[in-house]
Structure 1
Amino acid sequence: MVKTKEYSEDLRKRVIACHSKGEGYDKISKKLSLPKSTVQAIIKKFKSQGDVMNFGGRGRKRLLSARAERTIVRRVNQNPRITAGEIVEEQRSSGVNVSRHTVGRVLKACLKAYHSRKTPLLKPVHLKAKSSQSAILIKMLPSRNMLYGPTKRILSYNSVSSVYRKSVEAFLPKSPIPTVKHGGGN
């Protein structure tokens, strides 16, 4: 049966004290109102380990420290289009061997993934207008993902790849993927 209750260290020491006086399992269990199997387990642990304290360190050790996790999140905030493979290579060069899935779990816990926007390659005049319009719209609509109105044609194209960012950072220069509208050409 699964152990459901942990007894205090003081009670476990009293069991050992009674056992060292030469008392039997039945007598100890009646005296301290404990099940006989519990008394047996406490004494067995004392004989094997020399102490009745619980030792820490159970479970799998973490691969990444809190500092390494913050470094990953900071790196993604600087460059939202960085891939998990690139982050794994950076960690490997610093001596930590992690998988893409571990990096993904860290990012999923701290950030939210969005589809990156595709913006057409425009003339510098259009890029300037787009950035000023998006800054104005971000201030006006801080809680919206999708922008409506005349800028929709320029600003909101969806792509397949994911970007870790805040929802209001959709149209900042570091987030969208520059593309040619309708395949480009003449």
Structure 2
Amino acid sequence: MEKSKQYTEDRRQRVVDLHKSGSFLGVISKTLIMPRASVKNIIRKHNTLGTVQTLQRSGRQRRKLNQTAEHRLVRTVQLNPWMTKKEMGQDLEASGSKVSLSTIKRFLHDHGLRGCRARKKPLLQDRHRKAILKYANEHLGSGGGSIMLWGCFAASGTGSLLKIDGTMKREDYLKILQLSLKRSAKNLNLSQN
């Protein structure tokens, strides 16, 4: 069905003229071969606004950030990626551009600059601190040296940690992989792959 906004201004004016001359909606609809609802809408618009011209519709407004402010915002994010949107807004306001947080968020999203939160690390508990302090006190006078360790970890946690005595040979390494890696994978709930 054709919508009233698609009719020419002349055709809409003709609807209004026929209505003023006393024609009914059904007669106007048949005469001009238009849906009755379109005729009704054109007449209602004329009675309300006093015109049949196409008026400017509300829509997307002009950009609130000018090109200089946009460059400044991108550069600020690149130099300080930990800056919050609120701080960015304050920085822009200090330079003379006041915009909302949603405008900043939309601008950053349009430029592929998406925020992320650092993964929370578990805090050390008292038992961890005591164990570390105990280990440090026990090994305070041990002097220098080196130690070889083998360990593994995954997103789900840490696996086994083994101390390697002497020089590790190929056979030793394969043995560790066969025993400790499989056990660690099972404890970490990793798949067989």
Q: Over alpha carbons, which structure has the higher Rg?
A: 2
TM-score, normalising length from structure 2? 0.46
